[in-house]
Amino acid sequence: MKQIGTLQGAGLAAGLAMALTGHAAQAENVLRGDLSFELGRNTDRSRNFKHISTSLGTEFANGVGVQLDLALGKYEQLTSTQSSAAVHLYYTPTEAVAVGAYLLGEDTRPGNYAYYGAEVAYSADTWQAEAYLAYRKDLGGSNEGTRYGVEFAAAPASWNGFGLFGAAHGETDLPGGDKSIVTAGGSYTFGNDSTLALEVGRTNLGHSVASVSYRINFGEGARFSRRHAIGAYGAY
């Protein structure tokens, strides 16, 4: 029931976002998003995970944009399947810059959390960067904390489809304590605008993690990365 409540909350927020953008000019709006599949492993815990997620958004002629995220993931050797839904509402003062806020509903065991965040993204032809900061509220208890992170990616045209990327994510005051992870990886984008990526990382517990993912882009791809736990921490 708690999971349903979380996703319903994100759904209501999505409806509000659509209403706020409903007055925007419908001409020349741009659809963008992606669908990704990921498999990963924490080598120190001998634990695997699987993860599927998607984002779909639109931007209107007045610079207002909205993005919806859905994700489902599972860690092996645990009984919980983790689901999440989010809505981002943002403004693009220039073609390259987006500034926004988001609401994320996330079911993780233990805990059923809502995140209220602010974010900024920069996207040029050859590189991208973004940062976010969110307040976390446990919907079934009194636990509160903060999730934060930065990400970057570079893929100059001279690299012929190859790219590099990295990220750092952290979270405070979780029931099991603070956690953080730093990751880096490489990617290759095919002619059909789909991307294969390999990523490795290290957690604050000293664990090594690795994953492989395949992403199918729609239009120019999602404006913002997804902020849910498996998306940020992978095989933590």
> CB–CB of 226/73 below 8 Å?
no
Instruction: Quote the DSSP letter at residue 122.
Output: E
Three-state DSSP state, 78: coil
CA–CA distance, 202 with 236 (Å, rounded to integer): 9
pLDDT of residue 29: 65
Mean pLDDT within 127-136 = 96
- Ramachandran quadrant class, 102 (left: phi over 0; alpha: psi -120 to 50; beta: rest): beta
> CB–CB of 231/43 below 8 Å?
no
pLDDT of residue 234: 86
* Per-residue model confidence as pLDDT tens digits over 180-212: 999 999 999 999 899 999 999 999 999 999 999
pLDDT of residue 235: 81
Q: Which two tokens stand for residue 207?
A: 């664990």
Three-state DSSP state, 14: helix
Q: In percent, how much of the chain has pLDDT > 90?
A: 67
pLDDT of residue 142: 82
* Confidence band for 105, pLDDT divided at 50, 70 and 90: very high
pLDDT of residue 110: 66
- Ramachandran quadrant class, 177 (left: phi over 0; alpha: psi -120 to 50; beta: rest): left
Mean pLDDT within 204-229 = 94
- Cα–Cα distances (Å) from 66 to 46, 58, 62, 230, in that order, read 38, 6, 12, 22
Domains and CATH numbers, the chain: 2-233 (2.40.160.40)
The mean pLDDT of the chain is 87
**Considering only CA atoms, which of 187, 7, 170 is closest in space to residue 83?**
7
* Confidence band for 52, pLDDT divided at 50, 70 and 90: very high
Q: In percent, how much of the chain has pLDDT > 70?
A: 85
